[in-house]
Amino acid sequence: MARTHPDEKILSYNDVVLRRSDLDILNGPYFLNDRIVEFYFSYLSSTCCSSEEVLLVSPSISFWISNCPMLEDVKDVVAPLRLQDRKLIIFPVNNNEDVTVAEGGSHWSLLSYYKTCNLFEHYDSFGSLNKRHAMKLCKGIKGLVGAPETMSNCRECNTPQQMNGYDCGLYMLAIAELLCSCHLQEPNDSGQCRFEALELLEVGQMRRRILKIIEDLMDQVEKESA
User: Average of pLDDT values for 14-23?
Assistant: 96
Assess if residue 109 is contained within a domain.
yes
SS3 per residue for the chain: CCCCCCCCEEEEECCEEEEHHHHHHHHCCCCCCHHHHHHHHHHHHHCCCCCCCEEECCHHHHHHHHHCCCHHHHHHHHHHHCHHHCCEEEEEEECCCCCCCCCCCCCEEEEEEECCCCEEEEECCCCCCCHHHHHHHHHHHHHHHCCCCCCCCCEEECCCCCCCCCCHHHHHHHHHHHHHHHHHHCCCCCCHHHHHHHHCCCCCCHHHHHHHHHHHHHHHHHHHHC
Pairing mode of beta strands 108-114, 88-94: antiparallel
For 188-226, what is each residue's pLDDT tens digit? Answer: 665 677 778 887 788 989 999 999 999 999 999 999 987
Q: Within a domain: residue 3?
A: no
CA atoms within 13 A on the CB side of 120: 25
Contact 108, 126 (CB under 8 A): no
pLDDT at 1 > cutoff 60? no
Q: What is the CATH number of the domain that holds 33?
A: 3.40.395.10
Of 81, 84, 82, 105, the C-alpha closest to 93 is 105
In a domain, 88, yes or no: yes
Whether residue 104 has pLDDT greater than 60 = yes
Establish if 173 belongs to a structural domain. yes
Number of structural domains found in the chain: 1
Distance CA 84, CA 204 (A): 35
Where in the sequence numbering do the catalytic residues fall?
107, 124, 168
Range of the domain at 106: 9-225
Model pLDDT for residues 109-155, shown as the tens digit of each residue: 999 999 988 899 999 999 999 999 999 999 899 889 887 765 666 89
What proportion of the chain, given as a percentage, has pLDDT over 70? 94
Write down the pTM of the prediction: 0.93
Establish if 152 belongs to a structural domain: yes
Q: Does residue 107 lie in a domain region?
A: yes
- Whether 39 maps to a domain, the answer reads yes
Whether 4 maps to a domain, the answer reads: no
